[in-house]
């Protein structure tokens, strides 16, 4: 269990984004591994996800109780673990256990597209963001804000980030100087930034 917890800890502490593509039954340890991923996509079909351990008299041991509590809140986590009954992909999406449902035949393409897009994010920013959310989010607000400030200062001081921020502001100034609305920038240019095709981090 300690080795498993260590693998999951390394995933959370990594500067890489882990995308889970769930295309079948995701129960017990599979659910716990998925919870250690940053983005969870699930095939929309006759599949199930959950923590059935209590049905044989044990509790989740791969981090399920802790990760579910952080993802779903204590009430939903407790209910899911107490019931032990798997839930459908639609229910998992509705309660926030998975991020998106995808047609089964499109699941791997969607996972690869998502992973490729997020891989273009700044590794420094990804690591700081994950640390701020995973660690800071389980602390008091004061401590969490301290973790966020630290991450903000760390990420904003890199040369690549400063170059990206200058380019972003230059694009906004270009739109404004042409007399067009800022909404034009958002409609025309922001999608390129979201795709990660403007700056090479």
Residues 18 and 84 in one domain: yes
148 and 115, same structural domain?
A: no
pLDDT surpassing 90 at residue 188: no
Q: Is the pLDDT of residue 46 over 80?
A: yes
Tell me the whole-structure pTM to 2 decimals.
Answer: 0.88
Whether residues 79 and 15 fall in one domain: yes
- How would residue 138 be classed by pLDDT, with cut points 50, 70 and 90? confident
How many domains are there within the chain? 2
Let me know whether 146 and 76 are in one domain: no
Question: What is the DSSP secondary-structure string of 54-75?
Answer: GGGT----SSHHHHHHHHH-HH
Mean pLDDT of 10-23: 96
Residue 201 contacts by C-beta under 8 Å, 6 or more apart in sequence? Answer: 120, 121, 122, 123, 125, 160, 164
* Residue 11, domain member (yes or no): yes
Same domain, 62 and 160: no
Q: 53 pLDDT band (50/70/90 cuts)?
A: very high
> Quick check: 49 and 97 in contact, CB under 8 A?
yes
Q: Give yes or no: residues 87 and 143 share one domain.
A: no
* Exposed/middle/buried for residue 191 (C-beta within 10 Å: 0-12, 13-18, 19+): exposed
**Domain extent for 49:** 2-119
Strands 26-27, 49-50: pairing is parallel
* Angle subtended at Cα 105 by Cα 101 and Cα 106, rounded to the nearest 5 degrees: 55
Residues 41, 92 within the same domain: yes
Q: Which residues are catalytic?
A: 32, 53
Boundary (domain end) residue, out of 119, 146, 167: 119
Residues 69 and 79: their CA atoms lie apart, in Å, by: 11
CATH of the domain at 81: 3.90.226.10
Q: 47: pLDDT confidence band, cut at 50, 70 and 90?
A: very high
Q: Are residues 17 and 111 in the same domain?
A: yes
**Is the pLDDT score of 187 beyond 90?**
no
């Amino acid at each position: 269990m300690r080795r498993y917890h260590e693998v999951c800890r390394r995933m959370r502490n990594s500067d890489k984004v882990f995308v889970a593509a769930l295309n079948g039954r995701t129960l017990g340890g599979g659910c716990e591994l998925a919870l250690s991923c940053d983005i969870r996509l699930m095939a929309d079909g006759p599949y199930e996800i959950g923590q059935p351990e209590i049905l044989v008299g044990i509790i989740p041991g791969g981090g399920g109780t802790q990760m579910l509590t952080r993802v779903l809140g204590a009430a939903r986590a407790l209910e899911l673990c107490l019931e032990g009954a798997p839930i459908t992909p639609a229910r998992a999406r509705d309660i926030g256990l998975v991020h998106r449902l995808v047609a089964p035949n499109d699941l791997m393409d969607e996972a690869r597209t998502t992973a490729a897009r997020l891989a273009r994010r700044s590794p420094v920013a990804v690591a700081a963001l994950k640390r701020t959310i995973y660690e800071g989010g389980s602390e008091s607000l004061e401590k969490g804000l301290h973790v966020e400030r630290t991450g903000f200062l760390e990420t904003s001081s890199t040369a690549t980030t400063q170059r990206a921020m200058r380019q972003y502001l230059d694009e906004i100034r270009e739109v404004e100087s042409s007399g067009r609305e800022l909404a034009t920038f958002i409609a025309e240019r922001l999608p390129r930034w979201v795709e990660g095709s403007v700056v090479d981090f």
